[in-house]
Amino acid sequence: MAALTEALRPLFAGRKVMVTGGPLAAMTGTCRRLRELGAERPFLLATGTGTGDLPGPDEAEWVVVQVRAPDVIAEIRAAMRLLRLLPGEVVAALDRWDPDRAALVLSPMFNELPEIAGRRVYGPRRPEWRRLEDKVVVDALWDDLGVARAPSAVVPAEAAALRAAAARLDRGAGTAWAGDASQGFNGGAHCVRWVRSSEDAAEAAGFLAARCDRVRVMPFLEGVPCSIHGMVFPDAVAAFRPVELVTLRRPGSNRLRYAGAATFWDPPAADREAMRDLARRVGAGLRERVGYRGAFTVDGVLAAEGFLPTELNPRLGAGLSVMASDLPELPVALLDRALIEGEPLRYGAGDLERQVLAAADRTRAGGAATVTERGPGVLKPGHPENEVATDATTELRVRFEDGTCRPAMDGRPADGVLAFGPSGVGGFVRLALDPDRIPAGPSVAPLAVAAFALADERFGTGIGPLEPARAVR
């Protein structure tokens, strides 16, 4: 850890840094890492308060421009539009803090702008990297790299073409339809549908046709949704451990609900090594083909025939911060930006891989999280003790017993903490699991289902009934 800290310190020590593009609570960790590296008191441009620990006024200066949106994808796009044209009062506050406009900008991982408010963006995303995130083009990359994948067809976003492709590819569990990125980034299963009936197909065709030009159709893969993360250095690729992607099903619906990442789940050892080898191959291929640097994820499903990829995210993924959560002094997000920027570092892929793997296997982390249309203050009647202000976060210590999640009462030990706070969509529910209480090995998706049911009961979040994926290996 000390080696990475010392490698990054000269890049930020004595510098002014502006951090942008998310809720204030999500910036707290980055703010503190920057201060530890010797940066001046940073400026945080937040899109809301968020859920969780907030920085103190001695740690940072900030402005909150509240972004409201009907869903997470719309929220991300709205945040990107905000950065293109900042309100005058925000620009004025920035200029008071940084009159010479010499600050570096740490922007969201989706940002491709080289400059924001007259200040240089540090490590912006390159368009050629972003294009590989489109689900209708990535299968060509898998084939080019010799990566095994499920059969698929890319067809126009039209009902007849979609139904015909589904009829050819259905192996008995239905098909998964994934829309393209013709109208901008989409993720978190927002433009994915699990089609098993004519009603499913009708809804999916209408939804996707309004948002996409083309759609990839493939067999629905039963198994644990998961990902493998890597980080591309100039001369090597760091490959980490598999991460469970908590992706839940809605009974009677063709929708899937992505709910975060966790490292408690362990696949069979042979599958783990196959996924790590795949990460090395993909990372090297990205470096060779598009000059890639930094973190990436390959998402997919551990199906009956092994891990099959469904998408590539050539950017920092949530799972890497989960894996490094036991190493708060290891600033992997700042390392990612330094690699993108092309900084010469006396710190290599092998150093990072050894440190992250040891920590991630030793101390499991994560849980589940999801946004809700209903925010704090719109709580279920009958629980006045939970009434909170609309910008506050409520936490509840919880236990898991007989397949249910209940409050940990009478001083009994808790298996985790269930939190409910605000988001740009409305509310945000987060389950943080205690690694000393939750066993390594099994999927945590059943725990997420039980915890979200308790959130509905106690906080009136309106998530509704959910089901976990089923392990098949």
Q: Whole-angstrom Cα distance, residue 384 to residue 68?
A: 27
Per DSSP, the three-state class of 410 is: coil
Whose structure tokens read 């979609």?
Answer: 162
At residue 2, what is the residue type? Answer: A
CATH fold of 126-143+222-365, please? D-amino Acid Aminotransferase; Chain A, domain 1 (3.30.470)
Ramachandran bin of 304, using left for φ above 0, alpha for ψ from -120 to 50, beta for the remaining angles: alpha
What is the β-pairing status of strands 43-46 and 17-22?
A: parallel
Q: Whole-angstrom Cα distance, residue 191 to residue 439?
A: 33
Give CA separation, 179 vs 153, 156, 368, in Å. 12, 10, 25
Which run of H or E residues covers position 468? none
How distant is the alpha carbon of residue 82 from its chain centre?
21
Question: In terms of Cα–Cα distance, which of 408, 455, 464 is closest to 427?
Answer: 455
Whose structure tokens read 């010392």?
Answer: 6
Angle, CA of 70, 72 and 74, to the nearest 5°:
60
Q: How many of the other CB atoms lie within 10 Å of CB of 146?
A: 8
Give the start-to-end residue ranges of the domains of the chain: 2-124, 126-143+222-365, 151-220, 367-459
Architecture category of domain 2-124 in CATH: 3-Layer(aba) Sandwich (3.40)
At residue 314, what is the residue type? Answer: P
CATH number of 151-220: 3.30.1490
Per-residue pLDDT of the chain (473 residues; tens, 9 = 90+): 578 899 999 999 999 999 998 899 999 999 999 999 999 999 999 999 988 889 999 999 999 999 988 888 888 889 999 999 999 999 999 999 999 999 999 999 999 999 999 999 999 999 999 999 999 999 999 999 999 999 999 999 999 999 999 999 999 999 999 999 988 878 888 899 999 999 999 999 999 999 999 999 999 999 999 999 999 999 999 999 999 999 999 999 999 999 999 999 999 999 999 999 999 999 999 999 999 999 999 999 999 999 999 999 999 998 999 999 988 778 999 999 999 999 999 999 999 999 999 999 999 999 999 999 988 864 444 444 444 445 678 999 999 999 999 999 988 899 999 999 999 899 999 999 999 999 999 999 999 999 999 999 999 999 999 999 999 98
